[in-house]
């Protein structure tokens, strides 16, 4: 067997699950379908995952970890806020565009599968917001941003835009210039649109 072909059963199952969950949703995907798509037996899934819910959670967690790895935090000391904001937005959009299926899975249903999962999702969202808030606050401290803005609201605004545009990309299955989009968004927030 060649290197590339050698995928662990576990990997295969996760891949299959992402594909099917993304396409048909959690509740419309049967464990048997996942097993088939993964070229495994139905029982094999349970060798690696305790339940359907856990398989789903595992996928979300993995996805989230990959985001953390792929989008490195800026060293806040040097980079100007505009640049930081741009990188944050661009990093996320690119990641989501490159992981369409996983993104689709993550954006839907998280709330309805499991109470625990929902709380976890809220926590993740909260952390992102904290990260952005820190960025904004630094900007204010360094005099790059106005002092009269509502930090809380502005941070959330930034956080609102990323999933919305990401959702647009993956749901309508379009391919866009994420760099350009990120520039437009960050500039607009910074500069406003008033004449």
Give the binding site for a copy of itself (CB under 8 A): 25-28, 108-109, 111-112, 122, 136, 143-147, 149-150, 153-154, 156-157, 159-161, 163-165, 168, 171-172, 181, 184-185, 188-195
Q: Which does 171 bind (CB under 5 to 8 A by kind): DNA, a copy of itself, none?
A: a copy of itself
- Nearest Cα residue to 91 out of 71, 117, 106: 71
Among 24, 39, 118, 180, binds DNA (CB under 7 A): 39
Nearer to DNA, 59 or 159 (CB): 59
148 vs 20: CA distance, rounded Å: 47
Nearer to DNA, 57 or 84 (CB): 57
Among 7, 25, 31, 109, binds DNA (CB under 7 A): 31
Q: Which does 46 bind (CB under 5 to 8 A by kind): DNA, a copy of itself, none?
A: DNA
Residue 107 phi/psi, 5-degree rounding, is: -80, -30
Three-state DSSP at 6 gives coil
Q: What is the largest distance, in Å, between two alpha-carbon atoms of the chain?
A: 64
Q: Give 131-135's long-range contacts (Cβ < 8 A, gap of 24+).
A: 131/73, 132/88, 132/158, 132/159, 134/76, 135/74, 135/76, 135/81, 135/84, 135/85, 135/88
Using the Cα atoms of residue 115, residue 118, residue 122 and residue 124 in order, give the sign of their dihedral: positive
Q: Which stretch binds DNA (CB under 7 A): 46-54, 110-118, 121-129, 140-148?
A: 46-54
Q: How far is the CB of 111 from DNA (least distance, A)?
A: 17
Q: How far is the CB of 43 from DNA (least distance, A)?
A: 1
Q: Which stretch binds DNA (CB under 7 A): 40-48, 84-92, 132-140, 186-194?
A: 40-48
- 16 and 41 in contact (C-beta within 8 Å)? no
155 vs 115: CA distance, rounded Å: 26
171 vs 79: CA distance, rounded Å: 33
Question: Binding of DNA at residue 7 (CB under 7 A)?
Answer: no
Nearer to DNA, 9 or 87 (CB): 9
> Residue numbers of the site for DNA (CB under 7 A)?
8-9, 28-32, 39-44, 46-48, 51-53
């Amino acid at each position: 067997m060649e290197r590339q072909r050698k995928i662990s059963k576990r990997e295969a199952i996760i891949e299959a699950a992402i594909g099917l969950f993304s396409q048909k949703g959690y509740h419309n995907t049967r464990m048997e379908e996942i097993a088939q798509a993964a070229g495994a037996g139905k029982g094999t899934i349970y060798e690696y995952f305790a339940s359907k819910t856990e398989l789903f959670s595992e996928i979300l967690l993995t996805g989230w970890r990959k985001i953390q790895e792929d989008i490195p935090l800026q060293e806040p000391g040097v980079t100007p806020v505009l640049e930081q904001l741009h990188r944050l937005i661009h990093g996320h959009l690119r990641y989501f565009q490159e992981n369409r299926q996983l993104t689709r899975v993550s954006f839907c249903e998280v709330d309805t599968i499991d109470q625990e999962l929902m709380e976890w999702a809220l926590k993740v969202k909260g952390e992102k917001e904290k990260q952005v808030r820190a960025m904004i606050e630094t900007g204010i401290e360094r005099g790059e941003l106005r002092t009269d803005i509502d930090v809380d609201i502005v941070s959330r605004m930034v956080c609102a835009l990323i999933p919305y545009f990401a959702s647009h990309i993956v749901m309508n299955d379009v391919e866009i210039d994420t760099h350009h989009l990120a520039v437009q968004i960050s500039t607009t927030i910074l500069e406003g649109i008033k004449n």
